[in-house]
Amino acid sequence: MLPGFPDAAPLQGLIGGLLIGLAAALMLLGAGRIAGVSGILARGAGIAEGSMARTSAWGFIVGLPLGALAIRLATDWEPAVFAGWPLLIAAGLLVGFGTRMGSGCTSGHGVCGVSRLSQRSIVATATFMAAGIATVFIMSLIGA
């Protein structure tokens, strides 16, 4: 419990964050690469060129949902609430286009790049957070 924020889950957030950090550290020190999900996904799908073997990209892409499934089976987990299909598709297009254009997402820029103190990643992370905050604010104004 976090005083003032009854809905927050700081402990789960921190534990999950440490696991994500370990995952990214394993990719860096084990394979010598950035654990950036958008880039690995594009590589696996054959959309992006790159030096990462497509077999390795697929290993990550398959491992990720399996890890999610392991937690799902081991804990009492409530189904999440999602936006409707039209919004999911519009958002998916923007996320796909934007992460390729901006060379990364929350994992590559937000975790790997920020921790490396990369100027590009710090600017990208500040930008997508500000854009996300503005979007949620505007949607709440128009009642979407």
Q: Is 21 exposed, middle or buried (0-12, 13-18, 19+ CB in 10 A)?
A: middle
Cβ–Cβ under 8 Å, residues 54 and 44: yes
Which one of 3, 76, 85, 143 is in contact with another protein (CB under 8 A)?
85
Query: Does 1 participate in binding another protein (rule CB under 8 A)?
Result: no
C-beta separation of 121 from 109 below 8 A: yes
Q: In angstroms, give the least distance from the CB of 4 to another protein.
A: 9
- The closest of 104, 107, 95, 99 to 35, measured between CA atoms, is 107
Q: Which of 28, 111, 33, 22 shows the shortest CA–CA distance to 67?
A: 22
Nearest-angstrom CA–CA distance, 118 and 85: 36
Q: Which of 1, 119, 142, 143 binds another protein (CB under 8 A)?
A: 119
> Does 67 interact with another protein (rule: CB under 8 A)?
yes
18 makes contact with another protein (CB under 8 A): yes
Question: Segment 39-58, which members bind another protein (CB under 8 A)?
Answer: 40-42, 45, 47-48, 51-53, 55-57
Residues 23-42 binding another protein (CB under 8 A) are 23-35, 37-38, 40-42
If binding means CB under 8 A, how many residues of this protein chain bind another protein?
114
Residues 87-116 that bind another protein (CB under 8 A): 87-103, 105-107, 109-116
Burial of 2 (0-12, 13-18, 19+ CB in 10 A): exposed
Minimum distance, C-beta of residue 111 to another protein, in the bound complex (Å): 4
